[in-house]
Amino acid sequence: MSTSEPHMENFLNQKKRIKNPLVPVGALMTAGVLTAGLVSFRQGNSRLGQLLMRTRVVVQGATVALMVGTAYYYGEKM
């Protein structure tokens, strides 16, 4: 029992990770725009599909920027 106590102390003293609640929302938006773009391509509306694919890239970039910004703000090393 005495050998497992230091491990338990390390476990209890670990810093809790900060999670940004907006990141899953951004991921769901990215998936939604991707799905809409693929459906519109399949239906033959290539202009709308192309616009939605470009929108997906912008939303995905914003989500990544949000993750990096959160990590920088809370001081986590990547």
By CB atoms closer than 10 A (0-12, 13-18, 19+), residue 56 is buried
pLDDT of residue 35: 92
pLDDT of residue 12: 60
pLDDT of residue 9: 62
pTM, whole model, 2 decimals?
Answer: 0.64
CA–CA separation, 67 and 70 (whole Å): 5
pLDDT tens readout for residues 14-70: 666 667 777 888 889 889 999 998 899 889 988 998 999 999 999 999 989 988 888
